[in-house]
Structure 1
Amino acid sequence: MTTFAPEPTRLTDPPAATQGTTQSTPPFEHKGTGEQIALGFFIVVPFLALLAAVPIAWGWGLGWRDLVLAFVMYAIAGHGITVGFHRYFTHGSFKARRWLRVTLAVAGSLAIEGPVIRWVADHRRHHAFSDREGDPHSPWRYGETVPALIKGLWWAHMGWLFDTEQTPRSKYAPDLMADKDMQRVERAFPALVVVSMLLPALLGGLLSMSWQGAVTAFFWASLVRVGLLHHVTWSINSICHAIGERPFVSRDKSGNVWWLALLSMGESWHNLHHADPTCARHGVEKGQIDSSARIIWLFEKTGQAWDVRWPKQSRLDARRVAA
């Protein structure tokens, strides 16, 4: 199988293991049984809560306290993924001060989508082989017929998460593996999962001074919030590689899906992202919502981020599909 170097990240010089194809590929890491069970639990339980959300909201109502807690937790964890795990750690779209790097790693961990180094390694591998053999989550894995695409969409959305073979972190994220701060955040992931799940309940109980407030906050701001964020993130892997407009040239089938833009915090402008992976803004056209880019802009304005790779008209024009 042909190997391809991951996209450069601008965080460090490209690791020697990814600069060419003369070195052997490190063996895949393997997911243990305990990790598989934990993964299944944190996928199935929030998903069931997400399914129950509508009838429960209809029967019991959704209070403002729970709504605010769910929104705040969704925004923190979601932007931790989009700004931190994705645009910063994976692609190096900007440089950041140490406190911001650690904060973004912690915030992204609250999404319960896996530890930071694991997430980054998987995504760099995705870009190295996007929609080709070697991509960990392409919906075109089984072919282009309708039955094959249905099977592929399931795989890209969440089936790949249960693959026991794991992306070798030493090949795709050696910079983060050598970073002591990221090592600490990676090791703290189980504790951060507990914080992510129980903090809303604690706040809900304290704000309402009742056990009922703790229970409803846990349901909405923990279970439903995690379930919704999971499926929005996974939709970028599945839906945005199967449908959508493709105004820019990329080597894969990535598309722009407008109706996911708000919930995905700008990630669903996916065609431009794959055409120019290190760009800090994905929604580059007029009216394209990209809250992640706005947060990066705020970090830059306050001096916490610099060397931001903003889109340039010349780069966009060079990548635009000819009329």
Structure 2
Amino acid sequence: MTVLEERSAPSPKPDVDPEPKTRPEIITFGVVVALPLIALVAAVPLAWGWGLGWTDVVIALVLYVITGLGVTVGLHRYFTHGSFKAKRPLKIALGIAGSLSLEMSVLDWVATHRKHHKFSDKEGDPHSPWRFGTGFWAVSKGLLWAHMGWLFEADRANREKYAPDLVKDPDIIKLHRYFPVLAITSMVMPAVLGGLLSWSWWGMATGFFWGTLVRIGLLHHVTWSINSICHVFGEEVFESRDKSRNVWWLAIPSFGESWHNLHHSDPTCARHGVLKGQIDLSAGVIRLFEKLGWAHSVRWPNPERLAAKRIAA
């Protein structure tokens, strides 16, 4: 390469996005983390004595499933890893459902997760529990960091570097711009539904408590547990270049995401729970989308590839 060519060559995009998180954003993260956590702690005595009805259960459960699958099927397997291709209405629906989880906009979620895979459990990983070392206290601190401490970092993953395909997608940019509106909708909707279904202010209050605070808190902590618990504890079945593990007891609430070892061994695979008895609800939903003709080019597990990556017993 000549000196002239070297000078004219484009410089690599930095890992850090030129637009850092603003102070209001970080404060909002704090509120979104703290209030649902308080609600989860209060949920047990409230459910035991009063304040929980079938209307609350249905609202919270339905929204948990919709937003949870929005994260697992939409933000993760579709937008981040391209495990399948979707028709435009399904793409937009998955983007909306994922945004209603209040985790991040589609653009930021994907950029962060792709960066995580590039540096998984090494320097540069946004949320590795091994960030501070391998000793007991270091890993304890790392677990807290990987679970939710990393959310309060001012820097964010570079969108143009890690999600250039989404930066060029007008639908995704529109969802990104309207993320605050979708987040507010996700918080207000349960209260409105609770009030309308019970025709009472009390129904509105309990709908907000269970359908917003408890639902969001539970979903967030399940999602964050994949970042923390599933990179420290559990079983390693397939070869991977990091410390990803399978945690069976998180499989149902995470819709199959906790079969994390296979995912890091074969990231674009549409099914994470590939072994006998490994329930993967997200893969079942993708299969349904495929049969309905809404999704195609699904990257289902390849037996030969799985056998090559399987760790000998």
Bin the TM-score by the shorter chain: over 0.9
Aligned to 2:3: none
Task: Determine whether 1:268 maps to 2:295.
Answer: no
- CA offset at residue 27 of structure 1? 5.7
- CA offset at residue 148 of structure 1? 0.4
For structure 1, the residue ranges without an aligned partner over 5 or more in a row are: 1-21
One of 210, 229, 242 as aligned partner of 1:220: 210
- Any idea what the Cα deviations from partners look like across 1:109-159, whole Å, max 9, x if unmatched? 010001010000000000000000110000000111001000100110000
Normalized against structure 1, the TM-score is what?
0.92
Taking the TM superposition and a 5 Å limit, the aligned residue runs for 1:60-99 are 60-99=50-89
User: Aligned-residue CA RMSD in angstroms?
Assistant: 1.0
What CA distance in whole angstroms lies between the structure 2 residues aligned with 1:25 and 1:76?
35
Taking the TM superposition and a 5 Å limit, the aligned residue runs for 1:231-310 are 231-310=221-300
Seq. identity, %: 62
Residue 127 of structure 1 aligns with an amino acid whose one-letter code is H
Normalized against structure 2, the TM-score is what?
0.95
- CA offset at residue 61 of structure 1? 5.0
What CA distance in whole angstroms lies between the structure 1 residues aligned with 2:298 and 2:93?
18
Residue 86 of structure 1 aligns with an amino acid whose one-letter code is H
Taking the TM superposition and a 5 Å limit, the aligned residue runs for 1:114-125 are 114-125=104-115
Equivalent residue pairs, number: 302
One of 30, 33, 56 as aligned partner of 2:46: 56
Contact 1:255/1:270 (8 A) holds in 2? yes
Contact 2:51/2:206 (8 A) holds in 1? no
What CA distance in whole angstroms lies between the structure 2 residues aligned with 1:55 and 1:322?
47
What CA distance in whole angstroms lies between the structure 1 residues aligned with 2:15 and 2:96?
28
What CA distance in whole angstroms lies between the structure 1 residues aligned with 2:269 and 2:164?
22
> After the TM superposition, which segments of 4 or more aligned residues of structure 1 sit over 2 Å from their partners?
22-27
Aligned to 2:13: 25
Contact 1:26/1:170 (8 A) holds in 2? no
- CA offset at residue 62 of structure 1? 2.3
Residue 262 of structure 2 aligns with an amino acid whose one-letter code is L
What CA distance in whole angstroms lies between the structure 2 residues aligned with 1:59 and 1:212?
15
Contact 2:71/2:101 (8 A) holds in 1? yes
- CA offset at residue 59 of structure 1? 1.8
- CA offset at residue 25 of structure 1? 3.3
Residue 161 of structure 2 aligns with an amino acid whose one-letter code is K
One of 306, 309, 312 as aligned partner of 1:319: 309
- Any idea what the Cα deviations from partners look like across 1:250-303, whole Å, max 9, x if unmatched? 000000000000000000000000000000000111111111000000000000
